[in-house]
Amino acid sequence: MNRREFIVTTLAAGGGLDIGITNPEARAAGNVAGPKIGARPWESLMKPGEAEVSAWVVVAPDDTVTIRVAQTDVGQGMFTSCAKMVAEELECDWSRVQVEYASANRHLKENFVYYEMHTFSSNSVRLGRIPLQRAGAHAR
């Protein structure tokens, strides 16, 4: 086998193993578990009458919880993993959780209130666990 045949065979086999399974009916019906994300996640979802418990957590009168995530989600699931850490500490209903990006402006104005606002090298969950759990415990 020469190099060209090896590359073609490897790509064909690797591409054949990339299978995705979705259930469009469940997604259309809204039965997919996970946080709700606004159409513009960089804008605040906070509405009049909602109580900001901390820089991380906002609670609405209807028990909807908005969790602010300071890391960027570029497909690795930061909105889910970081929000789950806060929601588990809060012991709130996961179906009533919304997620939004934390404000970089507020982070600087309030002396680095969100601890770390960068995403690199798979450190967001490992390094963010303690501040996120503290935010959930404080809100509880």
Domains of the chain, first to last:
35-139 (3.30.365.10)
pLDDT at 49: 77
Please report which confidence band the pLDDT of residue 25 belongs to, taking 50, 70 and 90 as the band edges.
Answer: low
Distances (CA, A) of 67 to 16, 46, 55, 93: 38, 10, 9, 13
Give the mean pLDDT of the chain: 77
What is the rounded CA–CA span in Å between residue 67 and residue 80? 10
Q: In the predicted model, is pLDDT for residue 26 greater than 80?
A: no
What pTM does this model have? Answer: 0.67
